[in-house]
Amino acid sequence: MLFCSVGSLDGNATITLSLEKAKRQITLISELCLFTRNSVVKAKVIVGNLEEPAILYGVGGFAEWAMFTLQALRIELRKSYRQTIDILSEMPGIFEEIGLTRLPRFSVLRDWFETITMSTYRAFLG
């Protein structure tokens, strides 16, 4: 993908800078995707339900392993609950990696985190 400013006198320099910027963004997304994949695997092992879908249809909620993954992403991104959900809503590849077709409201994630036991959370972090 090329990003070029219109009216630039030095089109080659603009294209080169933009290509390098695009490469950095691709690398960042790849690292975040890898982090997400690792978090999903770890969360599924901790929760102990490897086959559970991320969205619990009929129940209207989200699987605990999916919520662990969203919490891990929040910490990795160093954002608030609200900012994390907002950022992830612009990254469909990441929440598809989790298996979600929609994201929870930030308050659902925040409230869920307040209900999990510390021993479970330590096992996930460990």
* Top-confidence range, 13-27, 55-69, 109-123: 109-123
Q: Is residue 6 part of a domain?
A: no
Q: Which amino acid is at 120?
A: T
Q: Is residue 104 part of a domain?
A: yes
Contact 2, 18 (CB under 8 A): yes
CA 33/CA 47 separation, integer angstroms:
21
Count of domains for the chain: 1
Q: Is residue 2 part of a domain?
A: no
What's this model's pTM, rounded to 2 decimal places? 0.70
Q: Is residue 5 part of a domain?
A: no
Instruction: Give me the domain span that covers residue 46.
Output: 11-125
Instruction: Please report, rounded to a whole number, the percentage of residues in the chain having pLDDT higher than 70.
Output: 74
Q: Is residue 111 part of a domain?
A: yes
